[in-house]
Structure 1
């Protein structure tokens, strides 16, 4: 029974827990047993909190037995990326400098998850300070992609992506500054949502780039992501970027109806220099929505040609500013890859930064115009397949291309604009997952999630899971 339990999504488990057909404690123990047995292989977790998890799970069972069921995530085991603050618990940012850092408060979203009755099983591996896309961590070791242990899981939320794909936790959160939710979600074949900037509080999340950072769900299904967004969304006075906007009933609005939906396709940027098989699978995903009644319209977003420059100048300079004191005092305590990025971030001038913000404003305006004509924009999440651990290059139709430049090409615009963006699996290339990205207008997560739900119903992965997991569950 425990092997079957750990494979289930939150939407499958929640009714079982609510009816007390399954106990939270039973589920939590099964997930932890599985995660601990696999962690030496996958390295998704930095640390486990079994004792606290079992106590919280038992408390959830007691509450449910007394008629106090809190909702979809009550009693659900979740591990969390290790840059989100837990009061009185070590939060490392997967770094040497913060290896002993203990916050004196919970991140706002952690408080909200506690209120929802979530069971926390541990802290997940990540790229150091969230500044990278491989999760090849110099202090906690490389996290591995469950679909192919030689390959990266993506990053910076690589432990989050790998943990969900390998059933090492039931749901989780990622942080996203240039694609760090969507990159590992695509690479690991799961669902990842970057909400609208300001929709979810960042208070208590160690920053990478103040104006680009987002927090959002990483889950097994679209409905799981919708349910998690309902919990973590909402205005927070402690976050100056938080927006006062109503939180939707995202799960109730999921019906998969895409009749008369207008899908925007931007050929000149989002379908340029893409792996042939990735492009084929994404276009097949679009066609599956057309077969359900959607329409396609080509859109032009001229300023997208400046997006990579604006994204890199913004993230480099803001990240370097955040870490400037430690870069001066103890540069040797940063991993070599991110130390170089922080040093590069000291080079651009104020003129460069402010020019990038003007370009960013124009990109936002051009996207706004596009969404006057279409309901969503669909593109590949990544133009490439995840490369091997340690590689600085990726294969793009037989050519070697710079990994970091290409892997954030299609995700970065979502951070620049702050628009909601969802990645869902749309197929496999040589046994590795391919993601399809759905972008929407500001605060329109409802539509983005519903389009993802419509695609999910076509079962693009045909029920396939990583062999590593499948073999353990036979």
Structure 2
């Protein structure tokens, strides 16, 4: 590898151009990332974003170099290092979900989406830290502990996919995978100055993901650029006969690339969901960032329309989300099927053994007390989600808007030791519509946050219209270029 090739902030295109020009090999690239992880992740400040580095990563890279010498690029992700949230199955490494109970669980096969990525030439570089069992938003657990936000070492990164976001922000890889049941891809993308997509429900297979909720779990992508995110997303969007939800793939038209010259913000009608903005002092820094984003969009030719329908994210979580009602059955099913060799067989066993991270105990105890088969509240929530899908679709049609927009969080990501609050991602989770977070800027700099705390702007689109949301995100990103690497 030549001395002038730096892995910081590089894209898929940068890597492939360097390979084609003979400036780098896959082996050299992967070694550079492993060295960077070894140097930065566990030393002071201890970001704590990586759980396991793939012991076969170098061999996979060498195999791809041999493939390239004979046949050229294997696919659109040839040699690209992927960082995977540790609740997604990898047969080469443990899949722990951040829990001491699962530290020795090595799946018999990769998740379907992992196979799709590897078929496209990707290298699974490492498994990333997460909030234990994906039931929380601070990225802390009984196995690895707290992950730290690289923009403010006193804050959490968001979660539950916080390890993935921190690792991508710190340039430990190029593409990150997360899961999103309520906020969990978009929250850390917002808190770590990244792009994060929760796609339309059913476009990415959940076959090979430790479950939290039958109806709200989704797999998403975290990256530094929308273009890179989209390349990985298109690879993973595929029908899987073992996941009936992916029947929706047949109704979705893929886009192989996102060309900003074909789609600008000019002429779009964007609806600002006013009820998703906070009104307290703690919300003002976020509101200032969002006001700036809206002014930029107006100046670029967007018709910004205020939407005053009174939806409250906290209330939606309390009255409409089914995640806690399904958590016990989803986890118990895993523990008695793919996880059948684990000594722990139920959520109740986990609670009784008292080894879970204390921060998730209240949610686990509540979930264990719920019985979705004998609870009218569960049926109400299922039906309310269907009503909400119709309401929001009708709202978007009535206002003739291309997307809804709001801050992903009404306040910045919280300090370590606090619980995440006032997040708005529940709307996309309940609807199953595509929702993308894009960097929106920073709060004012402080001693703890020399660049400020990152704030993400979220765009929500119509069901299966992921193409439009990705293009809006790409156009906004190219217009603003708010992505800035952390000061180490």
Q: What TM-score comes out, normalization by structure 1 length?
A: 0.90
Aligned match of 2:467: 446
Instruction: Please tell me whether residue 161 in structure 1 is matched to residue 165 in structure 2.
Output: yes
Instruction: Please tell me whether residue 279 in structure 1 is matched to residue 287 in structure 2.
Output: yes
Judged with a 3 Å threshold, the aligned counterparts in structure 2 of structure 1 residues 346 and 458 are, in CA distance, closer, same or farther, namely same
The match for 1:374 among 397, 401, 407 is: 401
Aligned match of 2:342: none
Aligned match of 2:326: 318
Contact 1:174 1:217 in 2 (8 A): yes
Contact 1:304 1:363 in 2 (8 A): no
1:75-474 correspondence to structure 2 within 5 Å: 75-242=79-246, 243=248, 244-255=250-261, 256-270=263-277, 275-302=283-310, 306-312=315-321, 314-323=322-331, 326-331=346-351, 332-348=354-370, 350-372=375-397, 373-392=400-419, 403-404=420-421, 406-407=422-423, 410-429=424-443, 430=445, 431-461=452-482, 464-468=484-488
Aligned to 1:265, what secondary structure does the other structure show?
A: strand
Aligned match of 2:31: 29
- In the alignment, the residues of structure 2 paired with residue 301 and residue 11 of structure 1 have an alpha-carbon distance, to the nearest angstrom, of 42
Query: Shift in Å at residue 355 of structure 1?
Result: 1.2
Q: Moved runs in structure 1, 4+ residues, more than 4 A?
A: 270-274, 300-306
Query: Shift in Å at residue 302 of structure 1?
Result: 4.8
Aligned match of 2:60: 56
- In the alignment, the residues of structure 2 paired with residue 19 and residue 245 of structure 1 have an alpha-carbon distance, to the nearest angstrom, of 39
Aligned match of 2:339: none
Contact 1:6 1:30 in 2 (8 A): no
What residue ranges of structure 2 are gaps of 5+ in the alignment?
333-344, 446-451
Aligned to 2:82, what secondary structure does the other structure show?
A: strand
Query: Shift in Å at residue 70 of structure 1?
Result: 2.8
Contact 1:6 1:31 in 2 (8 A): no
- In the alignment, the residues of structure 2 paired with residue 358 and residue 137 of structure 1 have an alpha-carbon distance, to the nearest angstrom, of 33
- In the alignment, the residues of structure 1 paired with residue 481 and residue 286 of structure 2 have an alpha-carbon distance, to the nearest angstrom, of 13
Query: Shift in Å at residue 47 of structure 1?
Result: 1.0
Contact 1:137 1:143 in 2 (8 A): no
Aligned match of 1:398: none
Range with greater deviation from structure 2 (205-214 or 240-249):
240-249
Query: Shift in Å at residue 196 of structure 1?
Result: 0.3
Judged with a 3 Å threshold, the aligned counterparts in structure 2 of structure 1 residues 70 and 254 are, in CA distance, closer, same or farther, namely farther
Aligned match of 1:471: none
The match for 1:71 among 63, 75, 80 is: 75
Query: Shift in Å at residue 6 of structure 1?
Result: 3.3
Contact 1:423 1:437 in 2 (8 A): yes
Contact 1:254 1:449 in 2 (8 A): no
Query: Shift in Å at residue 68 of structure 1?
Result: 2.9
- In the alignment, the residues of structure 2 paired with residue 303 and residue 359 of structure 1 have an alpha-carbon distance, to the nearest angstrom, of 13
Judged with a 3 Å threshold, the aligned counterparts in structure 2 of structure 1 residues 365 and 292 are, in CA distance, closer, same or farther, namely same
What residue ranges of structure 1 are gaps of 5+ in the alignment?
393-402, 469-474
Query: Shift in Å at residue 247 of structure 1?
Result: 4.2
- In the alignment, the residues of structure 2 paired with residue 150 and residue 271 of structure 1 have an alpha-carbon distance, to the nearest angstrom, of 23
- In the alignment, the residues of structure 2 paired with residue 370 and residue 284 of structure 1 have an alpha-carbon distance, to the nearest angstrom, of 25
Residues 405-461 of structure 1: per-residue CA shift (max 9 Å, x gap): x23xx1011000001000011111131111000111111111111111111113343
Residues 250-281 of structure 1: per-residue CA shift (max 9 Å, x gap): 42454341221110112133455571121121
Aligned match of 2:41: 39
Judged with a 3 Å threshold, the aligned counterparts in structure 2 of structure 1 residues 140 and 39 are, in CA distance, closer, same or farther, namely same
Query: Shift in Å at residue 321 of structure 1?
Result: 2.5
Contact 2:161 2:178 in 1 (8 A): yes
Query: Shift in Å at residue 231 of structure 1?
Result: 0.5
Aligned match of 1:399: none
- In the alignment, the residues of structure 2 paired with residue 422 and residue 149 of structure 1 have an alpha-carbon distance, to the nearest angstrom, of 25
Query: Shift in Å at residue 308 of structure 1?
Result: 2.2
Aligned to 1:464, what secondary structure does the other structure show?
A: coil
